[in-house]
Amino acid sequence: MDAFDLIIQGGTVATASDTFRADVGIRNGKITALADNLSGATRTIDATGKLVLPGGIESHAHIEQESATGAMTSDDYYTGSVSAAFGGNTSIIPFAAQHRGQSIDDVLDLYHSRASSKSVLDYSFHLIVSDPTQEVLTKGLPKAFEGGITSFKVFMTYDKMIVSDEQMLDILVTAREHGALTMVHAENNAMIKWMVKRLIDRGYTKPPYHAVSHPAAAEAEAISRGIALASYVDAPLLIVHVSSEAGANLVADARRAGKKIFGETCPQYLFLEADDLDREGAEGLKYVCSPPLRNKQTQEDLWRHLQAGTFHLYSSDHAPYRFDETGKLSNGPNPPFTQVANGMPGIELRAPLLFHHGVNKGRITLNQFVAYTSTNAARLFGMHPEKGTIAIGSDADIAIWDPALTRTITADGMHDNMDYTPFEGHSLTGWPVTVLSRGEIIVDQNKLYAERGRGQFVHRRPFDPVGYSSPTPPEMNPALNFGARLLD
Ligand code: DUC
Ligand code: ZN
Ligand code: ZN
């Protein structure tokens, strides 16, 4: 019998820490050898001149998810995962959203059923908690953790999703007790609503006013408050989709102070800008997302923070709504900015954009690229080392990249269920050409080989705070004799 099912020969392997020449031997879906000149396989892939990287882990995507206003994303778990695979990803962690009145059990049953029959990639979910009743805090969330869902998101804005500061403290403490990671959409609801009203009252309804109504100050206030709440109960907190310099500075300050605060930014804040909202006719609606696009200076500020290590994650925030009556135009051909679904697609382009603008332009190293697109997510979300690296014993989740391949982005060339891409016409060098999931070739030379529903649920471990110690005990400790175990 052959020693390996598959050998990837002649490539350059890169992990979050090292770059080296090695063949990769795969057996039973796992990496079993890394060495020069491996032989004895049923099948070989010639990776000469190519990069052999851990498959990407897309940890922020909205797939087959209803928003609070009822809008359904255009991608289901099939098209969303296929698009992710063509972008070099091998795992996805979309959101399972609780809307008020729903039990956590029902939410998870629904999302498990949506994903299991369709996803071509391995998957998990972050739970969105919008209704933290006693039942949810004491039964629903603990059961979700036991079921391998060890992270969830809360919103500090949107009337139908927002949690109060008290509710957020309840969730943070519950998460801390179980070893879960809380994620937060941090924007100040009152500041946004106040400005929205003033704008609409004065007739400012076009897409650019979406950005005006969601100022960086609203993000900074909420990030600052989120950090204060999490620090108060000594719980870890991940600030998702940081879009402003003020927000990034707050994350950096908290990290410098040794707090268990983590940050994420997204391609749209590095590669697009608020001027895109001012495109001809209704085109600007394609660029409405929250937090909104900022300006060129902010792009530079966020790059600086990415280079400096402020952020752990770089995620697409894929939130696909088509440019038709099922999506962006569901309230007519020219809706005011308040009546358009928030979000844009990007799951397929996340990693290629960072490769081109980051690695090729010398802004980040190849190893940082691997960390941002894969390893850090695996670590933060309890999937490492099965996922997120190339090591003996890890799952053979691998993306083989051609660093010299240049392609121009078109909506037609994407594999999602969208009718536009906000990156139309951008030319990028460096693309994944072959993608393996647990040793199985699922994408090769622009062709899909994956069966619908082949993806497996990843039962994630708790968030591991080792190495992220907090320097001071929480101020509230003395008052917590009644429940000290919550903060032990
Ligand atoms: N938050 C997200 O994370 N994505 C889309 C819209 C939003 O508010
Ligand atoms: Zn959000
Ligand atoms: Zn999102």
List the pLDDT tens digit at each of the 488 positions of the chain: 899 999 999 999 999 999 999 999 999 999 999 999 999 999 999 999 999 999 999 999 999 999 888 899 999 999 999 999 999 999 999 999 999 999 999 999 999 999 999 999 999 999 999 999 999 999 999 999 999 999 999 999 999 999 999 999 999 999 998 999 999 999 999 999 999 999 999 999 999 999 999 999 999 999 999 999 999 999 999 999 999 999 999 999 999 999 999 999 999 999 999 999 999 999 999 999 999 999 999 999 999 999 999 999 999 999 999 999 999 999 999 999 999 999 999 999 999 999 999 999 999 999 999 999 999 999 999 999 999 999 999 999 999 999 999 999 999 999 999 999 999 999 999 999 999 999 999 999 999 999 999 999 999 999 866 544 444 445 555 444 444 444 44
Q: Report how far residue 488's alpha carbon sits from residue 483's, in angstroms, rounded to the nearest whole number.
A: 9
Distances (CA, A) of 203 to 198, 199, 385: 9, 6, 54
Q: Which residues line ligand 1 (CB under 6 A)?
A: 62, 185, 241, 290, 317, 319, 342-343
Q: Report the nearest-CA residue for atom 7 of ligand 1.
A: 290
Closest atom, ligand 1, to C-alpha of 342 = 6
Residues by chain with Cβ below 5 Å of ion ligand 3: 317
Atom of ligand 1 nearest to the CA of 62: 4
- CA 289 to ligand 1 center in whole angstroms: 7
Contact between 23 and 8 (Cβ < 8 Å):
yes
pLDDT value of position 467:
46
Give the residue whose CA is nearest to atom 1 of ligand 1: 290
- The pick from 60, 66, 185 for probing ligand 1's pocket by mutation, whose C-beta has the most ligand atoms within 8 angstroms, reads 185
- pTM of the entire predicted model: 0.96
pLDDT, residue 480, reads 46
Ligand 1 atom nearest the C-alpha of 158 is 8
467 Cα–ligand 3 center, Å: 27
Distance 317 CA to ligand 3 centre (A): 4
Q: Assign domain 56-377 to its CATH superfamily.
A: Metal-dependent hydrolases (3.20.20.140)
Burial (CB count within 10 angstroms: exposed 0-12, middle 13-18, buried 19+), residue 36 = exposed
Q: Which of 415, 353, 387 is nearest to 74 (CA)?
A: 415
- Which ligand 1 atom lies nearest to the CA of residue 319? 5
Angle at 400 between CA 435 and CA 348, to 5 degrees: 55
Give pLDDT, residue 465.
61
Residue nearest to atom 8 of ligand 1 (CA): 290
